[in-house]
Structure 1
Amino acid sequence: MKVEIFSDVVCPWCYIGHHRLQQAVRLFEGDVEVAHRPFQLDPDGVSTGEPLLRALERKFGGAGQVAQMTARVAGVAAEDGLDLRFDRALQAGTFEAHRLISLAGRAGRGAAMAERLFRAHFTDGLDVGDPGTLAGLAAETGVEDTGEGAEQVRADLARAHALGVRSVPLFLFEEKYAVSGAQPVETLVAALREVEARTAQEKAAQEKATQEKAGEGCEGDACAV
């Protein structure tokens, strides 16, 4: 089964969703191929070195509201064993980070690269838009940065737009069934099982239709009627 997760590396709920999907896949115990797809919360965002909290306060109108927002998501993340340190995080552009994830995916390292980038941004306080930082993270994760992948990221971003992805994380199962938001692990496991059952039913129906169609015709002196 193929599962695509649309996310951005500076989205805290995406980090939580990424973590929960990994847990769900382990519990499901079936054959699951996970592909990470890019989404940019701020397509025009650039790395300025500005503290993320300051940028959020400017966007949402005050330190009090931002403190409540970040405390809530940090609390949810902590329950999942994730350490979100908004006081360390930096405002960053994410296109190049997505390019690294895309490159890593070719070698089966997409999840590991995404995980490292999430942790770099939310826990380590690193600038995930800085070329030097990205080079170090890629090497640490065992990903060779050949400089390729930009066109693929642009194509994937265009596909996300065409699919109507407006918020992340979003999980797309078998290119047919979508689940939005950082759902609980049990919800994702249930979704995996439901899609598995539906896929099996569809396959059985197609095979039956093919067999019935094959029986309509004549061969030699015999005809199916």
Structure 2
Amino acid sequence: MKIEIFSDVVCPWCYIGHHRLREAVRLYEGDIEVAHRPFQLDPDGVSGGEPLVRALERKFGGAAQVAQMTGHVTGVAAQDGLELRFDRAVAANTFEAHRLIRLAGRAGRDGDMADRLFRAHFTEGLDVGDPAALAALAAETGVEDTGDGADEVRAELSRARALGVRAVPLFLFEEKYAVSGAQPVETLVAALREVEARTAEERAVGVPAGEDCDDGTCAV
């Protein structure tokens, strides 16, 4: 089964979603292919070392609202064993980070690269748009940065827009069934089993891929 996860490495709920998907795949114990797809929360963002909290305050209307938002997601992440340090995080443009994930995917290491970038941004306070920081993270993860991959990322970002992806994380199963948000592990396991059952049924009755739409999920 193929799962595509659309996310951004500066999205805290995406970090939680990545972590939960890995656990769901482990519990499911089936044959799963996970592909990481890019999404940019702020395509025009600048990597210049600005504290993330300051950028969030400007976007969401003040310190009190941002403190409430970050406090909530930090607590949820902690329950999953993830450390979010918004006091360290800096705002960044994530295009180059997505390019590294794309390159890592050629060796089947896109999940490892994504996880390393999440930790760098949310726990270590590194600028995941800074070329030097990205070079060090790629080397640490065993990813050779050949300098290419930008065109593939642009194409995937265009595909996300064409699919109507507006919020992340979003999990797309078999290019047909979508689950959005950092769902609990048990919900993701249930989704995996349901997609497996539906796929088996469609094969049995000869339903062409991409032509099914029911129960709140539609072909894309």
Whole-Å separation in 2 of the counterparts to 1:182 and 1:62:
25
Instruction: Determine the C-alpha separation between the residues in 1 that align with 2:153 and 2:142.
Output: 20
CA distance in 1 between counterparts of 2:2 and 2:62 reads: 42
Give the alignment of 1:95-110 within 5 angstroms. Answer: 95-110=95-110
CA distance in 2, matches of 1:49, 1:128: 10
Letter of the 2:128 partner, please give it. V
Once residues 178 and 60 of structure 1 are traced to their aligned partners in structure 2, the CA distance between those partners, rounded to angstroms, is 28
Alpha-carbon distance between aligned partners in 1 of 2:39 and 2:61, rounded to the nearest angstrom = 25
TM-score by length of 1: 0.91
SS in 2 for 1:70: helix
Percent identity of equivalent pairs? 82
- Deviation of 1:145 after TM superposition, in Å, equals 0.4
Which residue of structure 1 lines up, in the alignment, with residue 94 of structure 2?
A: 94
Looking at structure 2, the residues matched to 59 and 166 of structure 1 have their Cα atoms a distance apart, in angstroms, of 17
Letter in 1 for 2:68: Q
Q: CA deviation at 1:206?
A: 2.2
Q: CA deviation at 1:65?
A: 1.1
1:215 match: none
Aligned counterparts of 1:61 and 1:193: Cα–Cα separation in 2: 41
Match of 2:202 in 1: 202
CA distance in 1, matches of 2:147, 2:56: 31
Tell me, in whole angstroms, the C-alpha distance in 2 between the residues paired with 1:19 and 1:90: 22
Structure whose CA Rg is larger: 1
- How many residues matched? 207
Name 1:147's counterpart in structure 2.
Answer: 147
Q: What are structure 1's unaligned runs of at least 5 residues?
A: 208-225
Task: Look up the match of 2:69.
Answer: 69
Aligned to 1:5: 5
Aligned residues: CA RMSD: 0.8
Q: What one-letter code is carried by the residue in structure 1 that aligns with 2:202?
A: E
The amino acid that maps onto 2:89 is A
1:50-97 CA-partner distances (Å, limit 9, x unpaired): 000111111122111111110000000000000000000000000000
In the alignment, structure 1 residue 19 sits paired with structure 2 residue 16: no
Unaligned runs of 5+ in 2: 208-220
Which residue number in structure 2 is paired with residue 30 of structure 1? 30
